[in-house]
Structure 1
Amino acid sequence: MNYGYQPSPTVVPSPGFDARADAEALRKAMKGWGTDEKTIINILANRTNAQRQEIAMQFKTLHGKDLIKDLKSELSGNFELLIVAMMIPLPQYYARELHEALSGMGTDEGVLIEVLCTMSNNETRIIQQAYQSMYGRSLESDLMSDTSGCFKRLMVSLCCANRDESFNVNQAAAQQDAHALHRAGVQQFGTDESTFNQILVQRNPAQLQQIFAEYEGIAGHPIEQAIKQEFSGDIEKGLLAIVKCVKNRPAFFAEQLYKSMKGCGTQDNRLIRLVVTRSEIDMKDIKHAFVQQYGQSVEDFISSDCTGDYKKCLLALVS
Structure 2
Amino acid sequence: MATRPSAAATLDAVPAATTSNIDTARLLVRCRDRRGVVSAVSAFLSEQGANIVSLDQYSTDFQSGEFFQRTVFHLPGFAAVRDRLEQEFQERVAGPVEMEWTLTSAATPKRVAVMVSKLDHCLLDLLWRAKRGELDVTIGVVVSNHPDLADEVRAFGIPFVHIPVSRDSKPEAEARQLDLLRGNFDLVVLARYMQIISPRFLDEVGCPIINIHHSFLPAFIGAAPYKKAKERGVKLVGATAHYVTGDLDEGPIIEQDVVRVSHRASTGELVRLGADVERAVLTRAVRWHCEDRVVRHDNTTIVF
Per the TM superposition, whether the score is higher than 0.5 is: no
More strand by share: 2
Higher relative contact order (CA 8 A, sep 6+): 1
More helix by share: 1
Give the TM-score taking structure 2 as reference length. Answer: 0.30
